[in-house]
Amino acid sequence: MARVRISDVAAAAGVSTATVSLALNDQDARIPEATRERVRRAAAEVGYTPNSVARGLRTQRTRTIGLISDRIATTPFAGRMLSGAQDVAREHGYLVFLVDTDADPTVEREAIRALADQQVDAMIYACMWHRVVDVPASLPRRSVFLDCRPAQGGFPAVVPDDRAGGVAAVRELVAAGHRRIAYVDVDEPHPPVASGLRHDGYLEVLAEAGIEPDPALHVRGDTSSAGGRRAADQLLDLPEDRRPTALFCFNDRIAAGAYVAAHRRGLRIPQDLSIVGYDDQQLVAADLDPPLTTVALPHYEMGRWAMEVALGIRTPDDTGAAHLVPCPIVDRDSVGPPPATAASDSRRRT
């Protein structure tokens, strides 16, 4: 059961360990093909695979990456982000250490130290929601920020283009003919960056469409179905001439709440009310009735980008700004033209 060492291969091939190493790593041009082949055959015969720990000690490169994330457990996004990072790592023969800090600074500090002690070649500092974070004191220079921006700058970072996503969502509604479009925002201070940027996009489209923004159409709720329902109720309670015909929701859960609010009043989607969400959470957006038109968060792509930069395969633009990844809109069935008459049927069901 003892592992096969390079010296076993050397013995089997009748050469020194140096020759084995050189041959297997295609290093020294002076070694003739015949010897290489003999060594390769011997290695295969005895079932040799190099000990990465020993190699890492000698070469000072371990081909491992540390991925530190806050709250992996409770978010549905983590998987896609990990997956993107993971795929790139695998394609290049790297292994990734995953540490979930649960947003605890002590755990975070210790994790960074443990990863540094393991001599990881680089670290990725990932957040599950787009936001601005303080750079941990001991973070090594070779680090990349994923789905967050370092407050102090100085590191490559990748985040979703939330502003452009907001633009896409609201443009979709304007194109369908809506003029009274509400933004159902999340209440502070949850993910201030994403929220603000999406709102910017919203305002930008209103401006380009010549629509005066109505402060009454910007409401907030907590990021849950119940929160979305309450916020939507607030909008749907507005007098008929001020009531929105379309809702742009901060996320899909909030949109799901808006569905409930609408259904409870007998409003049909999209005939009586159009709704656009954000995040494209499979288990929410696609399962709603009707399926929700939403803006997808490019977690997989962001994960890939971060790992590519971490591995040095890709060099970030030297602007110092975070790299923006587009958020594609996913068209489903929750957007339609506004009702011909400002919705005159506000019948209620208990």
Partner DNA sequence: TCCAGGTGTTTAATCGATTTAGCACGTGAC
Partner DNA sequence: GTCACGTGCTAAATCGATTAAACACCTGGA
Separation of alpha carbons 261 and 334, rounded Å? 14
Give the residue, chosen from 19, 143, 223, 281, that forms a contact with its own copies under the rule CB under 8 A: 281
Query: Which entry of its own copies, DNA, none binds 27, CB below 5 to 8 A by partner kind?
Result: DNA
Give the residue, chosen from 75, 213, 216, 343, that forms a contact with its own copies under the rule CB under 8 A: 75
50 touching DNA, by CB under 7 A: yes
Give the residue, chosen from 44, 54, 95, 321, that forms a contact with DNA under the rule CB under 7 A: 54
242 touching its own copies, by CB under 8 A: no
Do residues 235 and 244 make contact, with C-beta atoms less than 8 angstroms apart?
A: yes
Residue 254, helix vs strand vs coil: helix
103 touching its own copies, by CB under 8 A: no
C-beta of 21 vs 251, nearer to DNA:
21
223 touching DNA, by CB under 7 A: no
Nearest to 61 by CA among 141, 124, 13, 119: 119
N- to C-terminal Cα distance for the chain? 71
274: DSSP letter: E
Q: Is the peptide bond before 189 cis (omega within 30 degrees of 0)?
A: yes
Stretch binding its own copies (CB under 8 A), from 18-26, 211-219, 285-293, 332-340 = 285-293
Do residues 247 and 184 make contact, with C-beta atoms less than 8 angstroms apart?
A: yes
Residue 14: count other Cβ atoms within 10 Å of its Cβ: 11
300 touching its own copies, by CB under 8 A: yes
Give the residue, chosen from 1, 26, 58, 350, that forms a contact with DNA under the rule CB under 7 A: 58
Please, what sign has the CA dihedral across residues 214, 215, 219, 220? positive
Interacting residues with DNA between 291 and 330 (CB under 7 A): none
Stretch binding DNA (CB under 7 A), from 55-63, 222-230, 252-260, 274-282 = 55-63
Both structure tokens of 127: 């957040």
Interacting residues with its own copies between 26 and 65 (CB under 8 A): 49-54, 56-57, 62, 64
Q: What does each C-alpha distance from 218 to 211, 213, 215, 227, 312 come to in angstroms?
A: 14, 9, 5, 14, 43
40 touching DNA, by CB under 7 A: no
Residue 139, helix vs strand vs coil: coil
119 touching its own copies, by CB under 8 A: yes
Give the residue, chosen from 26, 74, 215, 348, that forms a contact with its own copies under the rule CB under 8 A: 74
Separation of alpha carbons 225 and 213, rounded Å? 26
What residue ranges bind its own copies (CB under 8 A)? 1, 49-54, 56-57, 62, 64, 67, 72-76, 78-80, 82-83, 86-87, 90, 93, 95-100, 107, 110-111, 113-119, 141, 224-225, 253, 256-257, 260, 263, 281-284, 286-287, 289, 300
